[in-house]
Every structure is written in C-alpha cells, then in structure tokens.
Amino acid sequence: MREVDVLIVGGGPAGLSAAVALYEQGVKDILVVEREAQLGGILKQCIHDGFGLTRFQQALSGPEYAQIFIDRVRELGIPCLTNAAVLEITPDKKVTIVTPEGLLEYRARAILLAMGCRERTRGALAIPGERPAGVFTAGVAQSYINLYNRMPAREVVILGSGDIGLIMARRLTLEGAHVKGVYEILPYPSGLARNIQQCLNDYDIPLHLGHTVIDIHGDARLTGVTVAKVDDQRRPIPGTEEYIPCDTLILSVGLIPENELSRGAGVMLNPRTQGAVVDEYGQTSAPGIFAAGNVLHVHDVVDEVSAEAERQAAAIRKYLEQGALPEAGVTLRAGQGVHHVVPQHITGADEFLLSLRVATPLRNTKITVRDGDRIVAQKTYRRAVPAEMIHFMVKPGTPQTHEWEVSVE
Amino acid sequence: MKQVFTCIICPNSCEIEVSEEGITGALCRRGVQYVQQELTDPRRNIATTVAVQGGAEPLVSVRLTAPIPKARIMEAAEAIHALQPEAPVKAGTVLAHDLLGLGADVIATKSVEKRQRISAGYESGLASVWQRYESTPHTQALKTRKAWTSSAAQTSIVCPSRRP
Ligand SMILES: Cc1cc2nc3c(=O)[nH]c(=O)nc-3n(C[C@H](O)[C@H](O)[C@H](O)COP(=O)(O)OP(=O)(O)OC[C@H]3O[C@@H](n4cnc5c(N)ncnc54)[C@H](O)[C@@H]3O)c2cc1C
Ligand code: SF4
C-alpha cells in the first residue's frame, strides 16, 4: 500500500483548484485521481462562454477555464492519474483505485471528495409511456454535439428549465435543430435569468411554466410527447393535454451530487443538498475527509467551485499540520423559506462563508441568521430565487446556543 | 414607456428598468452599458464547434473574440461551421479573421492534437469497418425510418470529422 498526504478524487475544477492551492501552500505530496482520460471534468463539454467572470474578469469558455488549471497543475508537476477510477474509500482513508494497469491501493492522511454531480434521468422522474430512442439528458446531448460530432436531434422538446437545458436549447438551435419549447413543472424557471434571456428569448424559444410531459410516444424512435398544465400540487390538469410531435426529448431536471463513494467512507449526507454534511472547513462527518464543488452542493458557476475548493485546501493544510480541526459544535439549520444551508456545522469561533438557496422566489426579502434571540447576521435582497445561490460572510460573535437557524422573511 | 431588461453580463442577472427617469436596477456600470447597447444595437457572442481534419478528436470548440449583431447570429454560425481547420489546432489560434466583415475573429478555445497514424493497415481496416457498418440493415433502417427524417438519420450516423 502506498502512502500520500492528500488524495483528491476527481480532476474537475474543484479537484484541480484544490491541488494547485495545496501545492502552493507547501503541501506537495498530492495525488489527483480522475476516471476519464482527460482532466477538466464537465467543463470539457461546456463550450459556451461565461466562465471565469468573477475570477478572471473574462467570459471564458469551459475548456479555456479548465485549461488554466490544467496548465498550472502540469507546471507544478502535481501527479495526476487519469483513466483511473476510485472504487472505494474506507472510513480510515484507504483508497482503492482501478487503472488500466490494475488495482492500486493508497492510504491518505486526508482526502478531498471532488467527484462532481450527475444528471437526474427519466427513471428518477418516472414519466410513463413508451421507451423509444431520442430521450437524452441535457448533458448527454451536450457531449454528443460538443465532443463527438453527433447531432442527436431535429425537432426538440425540452423538459425542465435547468441551466444546462437552457444552454442546450441555444446550442441545438445554432446547430440547425428546431427547439419547440421548454416545459417547466414549477411556476418559475430553475435556471438563471440571464440564461432565459440569452438562450431562449434571444432565439424566440417559448418557455411554458407550470407544464410537464405526461406521456412519451414512439416505437423505435420518439415521435412525440404529450404535455399538460399542472395545478399547484404539480398534478396534471385533465383537459389541458397537448400532443407535440418531436424526435427528441431533452431532460434538464436537476443534478445530483455523485456520492456513492462518500457513503462507503461513512460520510453523512444531507437530504436537502444530497451532498455531505460539512463544517465550515468543508470537513465531512469522517475526520480528514473533505468535500468541495458539485459533490458537496450544486453550484451555479464554476468560479465559486474553485473558490470553495481553495478554502477547503487551506483547511486541509491546517488539518495536516495540527492533526485535527477545531470541533464544530454549533448546528446551522435551514429554517422558514430556506431550502438548504452549507455548512451545516460551525465552530462559532471564526468568520465563515454561508451558502444557501431559498425555497421559492422572493422579492425584497431579509435573510437572518439567529442564535436564539440574538441576530447574528442579516442581509436584505431585492430579489432571491432558488436558481441563484446566495452567499455571504458571517461573523459569529459569541454563541449563546448550539442550534442556529437561517430563515427568510 | 417602461422597459425591463435582464442583464446577461454576469450571473447576478440584474433586472434593469428603463423609463423616463433613466436606467435603474443595475448593480454595476456594465449593466448600464449593456442596456444602452441593447437599446441601440443588440449584440451577442457565440460559441460553437468546428470539425478538425485529421484531429485526435473530431471537434474543436470555438468562440468569437467580440460580440456581433444579434440578427447575424445564424448566418455567422453557418459560416463558422463551414471552416475546416487541420490538426493540430492550438487553443487561442485564430481560425478566421473578421468573420463576414463583422469585426470579430473566430478563435479555438481548446487544443486538438493530430491523429496518430497507427499504420496504413489499421486505417484501411477502419475504413472497411465503416463501410460494413454503413451497409448493415440496421443502418439502412435508420436512414429510411419515416418518423426520423432522412437528414436526421444521416446525421445520427455521421462519421467523426464529417460535418452534416
Ligand atoms: C452537464 C453540466 C453542464 C454544466 N454547464 C455549466 C455552465 O454552462 N456554466 C457554469 O458556470 N456551470 C455549468 N455547470 C456546472 C459547472 O460545470 C460546475 O460548477 C463545475 O464543473 C463543477 O466542478 P466539479 O469539479 O465539482 O465537478 P466536475 O466538473 O463534474 O468534475 C468531477 C470530476 O470527478 C471525476 N470523478 C467522479 N467520480 C470519480 C471517481 N470515482 N474516480 C475518479 N474520478 C471521478 C469526474 O470524471 C469528473 O472529471 C455544468 C454542470 C453539468 C453537470
Ligand atoms: S448589472 Fe452588473 S452586477 Fe448586475 S447582472 Fe449586469 S454585470 Fe452583473
């Protein structure tokens, strides 16, 4: 069994940003393990621009953003194993990796989980109907078109208004397909407003809120879908059904952090984020195992993924130096109107970055962090929507209770 | 008359109102500039892919170096798709100068290496596999399926590095 100080699972932006930050802070015994042939994660297929706006003040494409970090990793000579998938992580930080040359076993002093997320599929949605070809998740369609030169669609219906679906609506249009409409079950879009504008409105693609696909038709290939309006319980309203002929249905119905490995490592998951429960250091319930990026909670923009990974890198260095991090004895709960918060535990000693999503769209709203009767922090927002992650620094002051709550009013 | 714009410059997606009182709601200067541009001459950047001749990967991703008038987007996309760069392509290489006279260059956003020629035998073997694949009943059926328009059937089985 080989030994390494820090083993990073996943060579996407989270893994690479952490690797560079660790190395620059003097932690040089690192190994990045990536199951694909190339580093860069999901950014390889996100060819549109808009990455790196905060970090580099430039609208880069996904591959360009990734390349900056890949170049830096190469320059520093940080070891990266590609074509190598982590199969198992044990609670005592033994890692089993499968490579084309066979199995490798490592014992790591610290591990960073940076496996990203995967897309929710039709199975997870349970749409009834036939099982023809022509039903893809947005990310799969994106890789067909942007990486493999396969055009999977002509007449398209998109279910779900997640960002990737919106980006794909524009992408398919530029490639000559006809996008008939985007159908979203919720009464509000789940993607960013800027993507509604630049991907749908710019190309006259209609967005139908409060609608869903209730049936799928076709034998070998999709021939059409039936859509219907839904009521406020998200149940289809009889009499509103409409048949739409199409050869392709694209699903953009959410991302799920990829946490199979984490479970095996004894890492506790949060049912709301579907990522690990972490403290302000990004440390999970398993000491020495940290998480960053989309595997922890789904981010809107990659700049924040990099920033989070760098914060975690600093904490990992501290962990290696001190053997343990201060105990996070205060629990942070998502209260009224808040879908989830990250982190879920804090020490109450240091300033920390609070990330959250609201449960429903709100205007002129106040977000409050409460420690019993004491207001720890309060922020006013003109507009708060579930599609946009909210974050701000919180100075904890002197904790009075061990159960804090974050709520909106 | 009041008009509402969604700023697309950054993920904040500010809602910016334009009325007699002026431009309100932008969190920063860039939003105001965006709306002024939007009112007079709306422009967008586009990103797409181009087939690489002899590349280790079939496609190179590209974008424009400057936004172009919104009304010319589809025309520009077509012009970009007609490009045929040869591998190797380095990220940042200009693949076309001043596209359609619009004042923007097309640049590669990733690098694509040259395809390694393994051996002449391998290449001709690969070609014959393609030929056999093209002539199977399955492929023929794909090409003629009614529900699946003929152009779509062709593109669904397009050989790498050959654009529909
Ligand atoms: C389909 C899709 C499209 C997106 N489009 C946009 C967009 O348009 N704009 C935007 O700002 N953001 C977009 N995002 C989000 C953005 O790409 C992410 O914020 C960012 O890529 C997350 O980085 P990450 O490192 O956490 O995850 P990823 O980029 O997903 O990287 C995770 C890496 O871990 C590897 N991995 C997973 N499991 C293992 C294992 N067991 N062993 C070894 N390696 C493993 C994966 O192969 C992958 O390379 C998109 C996300 C998805 C899923
Ligand atoms: S106005 Fe400024 S902050 Fe607001 S979306 Fe535009 S660029 Fe971003």
CATH code of A144's domain: 3.50.50.60
**What is the rounded average pLDDT for all residues in chain A?**
94
The distance of B58 to chain A (nearest Cα, Å) reads 6
Per the domain annotation, does B31 fall within a domain?
yes
Using alpha carbons, select from A176, A163, A170, A155 the residue that is nearest to residue A218. Answer: A155
Chain B residues closer than 8 Å to A149 by CB: 49, 51, 58-59, 158, 160-163
A245 and A129 together in one domain: yes
Which ligand does the CA of B17 lie closest to? Answer: 2
A296 and A340 together in one domain: no
Residue B32 CA: nearest ligand 2 atom is: 1
A19 and A89 together in one domain: yes
Q: What is the pLDDT of residues A178-228, one digit of tens each?
A: 999 999 999 999 999 999 999 999 999 999 999 999 999 998 889 999 999
- Find the residue in A nearest to B6 (Cα): A194
Alpha-carbon distance A13 to A292, whole Å? 10
Residue scoring higher pLDDT (B126 or A360): A360
Given a cut of 90, is residue A25 above it in pLDDT? yes
According to DSSP, the β-strands at A248-251 and A155-159 are: parallel
Listed in sequence order, the residues at least 6 apart from A300 whose beta carbon sits closer than 8 Å to its beta carbon are: A163, A192, A387, A388, A389, B11
B34 and B75 together in one domain: no
B98: CATH: 3.10.530.10
pLDDT of residue B135: 73
CB pairs under 8 A between A and B: 114
pLDDT of residue B138: 60
Range of the domain at B62: 43-152
pLDDT of residue B153: 38
Beta bridge partners of B55: B114
Per the domain annotation, does B148 fall within a domain?
yes
Per the domain annotation, does B164 fall within a domain?
no
Burial of A147 (0-12, 13-18, 19+ CB in 10 A): middle
B101 and B27 together in one domain: no
Alpha-carbon distance A192 to A323, whole Å? 41
B131 and B106 together in one domain: yes
- Tell me, in angstroms, the distance from the centre of ligand 2 to residue B10's CA: 5
Listed in sequence order, the residues at least 6 apart from A20 whose beta carbon sits closer than 8 Å to its beta carbon are: A69, A72, A73, A76, A78
A169-A174-A177 Cα angle (round to 5) = 65
- Find the residue in B nearest to A195 (Cα): B8
The distance of B153 to chain A (nearest Cα, Å) reads 9
Q: What is the pTM of this model?
A: 0.88
Pick from A49, A193, A220: CB nearest B47:
A49
Alpha-carbon distance A21 to A16, whole Å? 9
Full strand arrangement of the beta sheet holding B94-96: B47-51, B59-64, B106-108, B94-96
B13 and B88 together in one domain: no
Range of the domain at A368: 327-409
Given a cut of 70, is residue A325 above it in pLDDT? yes
Alpha-carbon distance A386 to A349, whole Å? 29
Which ligand does the CA of B12 lie closest to? Answer: 2
A77 and A166 together in one domain: no
The distance of B24 to chain A (nearest Cα, Å) reads 13
**Spatial contact of B40 and B72, defined as CB atoms under 8 Å apart:** no
B36 and B47 together in one domain: no
pLDDT of residue B147: 34
A156 and A300 together in one domain: no
Coil vs helix vs strand at A263: helix
Alpha-carbon distance A192 to A211, whole Å? 19
Last residue of a domain, one of A208, A233, A253: A253
B28 and B56 together in one domain: no
For CA atoms B41, B42, B45, B47, give the dihedral sign: negative
**Spatial contact of A145 and A70, defined as CB atoms under 8 Å apart:** no
Considering only CA atoms, which residue is closest to atom 3 of ligand 1?
A164
B124 and B49 together in one domain: yes
Helix then strand count (H, E) for chain B reads 5, 9
Pick from B7, B15, B63: CB nearest A49:
B63
Per the domain annotation, does B161 fall within a domain?
no
B88 and B73 together in one domain: yes
- Find the residue in B nearest to A148 (Cα): B58
Per the domain annotation, does B157 fall within a domain?
no
Tokens (6 digits) for B3: 């008009």
A45 and A95 together in one domain: yes
B25 and B89 together in one domain: no
The distance of B160 to chain A (nearest Cα, Å) reads 6
Given a cut of 50, is residue A394 above it in pLDDT? yes
| Number of domains within chain A | 3
B72 and B10 together in one domain: no
The answer for A241, left when phi > 0, alpha when psi is -120 to 50, beta otherwise, is: beta
A350 and A258 together in one domain: no
Per the domain annotation, does B83 fall within a domain?
yes
- DSSP assignment of A88-114: EE-TT-EEEEEETTEEEEEEEEEEEE-
B64 and B129 together in one domain: yes
pLDDT of residue B140: 61
Tokens (6 digits) for A251: 């699903």
Q: Across chain B, where does the E strand assignment appear?
A: 3-6, 15-19, 22-24, 43-44, 47-51, 59-64, 68-69, 94-96, 106-108
| Number of domains within chain B | 2
Residue B31 CA: nearest ligand 2 atom is: 1
Which ligand does the CA of B28 lie closest to? Answer: 2
Q: What is the pLDDT of residues A249-262, one digit of tens each?
A: 999 998 999 999 99
Residue scoring higher pLDDT (A362 or B11): A362
Per the domain annotation, does B75 fall within a domain?
yes
Would you write out chain B's pLDDT as a tens digit for each of its 164 residues?
788 999 998 888 889 999 988 899 898 999 999 999 999 999 999 999 999 998 888 899 999 999 999 999 999 999 999 999 999 999 999 999 999 999 999 999 999 988 876 677 777 777 777 777 667 666 665 554 433 333 343 334 333 333 43
A92 and A137 together in one domain: no
A235 and A263 together in one domain: no
Listed in sequence order, the residues at least 6 apart from A207 whose beta carbon sits closer than 8 Å to its beta carbon are: A161, A181, A182, A184, A189, A196, A200
H/E stretch holding A124: helix A122-125
Per the domain annotation, does B159 fall within a domain?
no
A215 and A163 together in one domain: yes
Last residue of a domain, one of A325, A355, A380: A325
Do A61 and B149 make contact, defined as CB atoms within 8 angstroms?
no
Last residue of a domain, one of A253, A288, A305: A253
pLDDT of residue B121: 75
A189 and A96 together in one domain: no
A114 and A140 together in one domain: no
Lowest-pLDDT choice from A69-73, A146-150, A258-262? A146-150
pLDDT of residue B142: 52
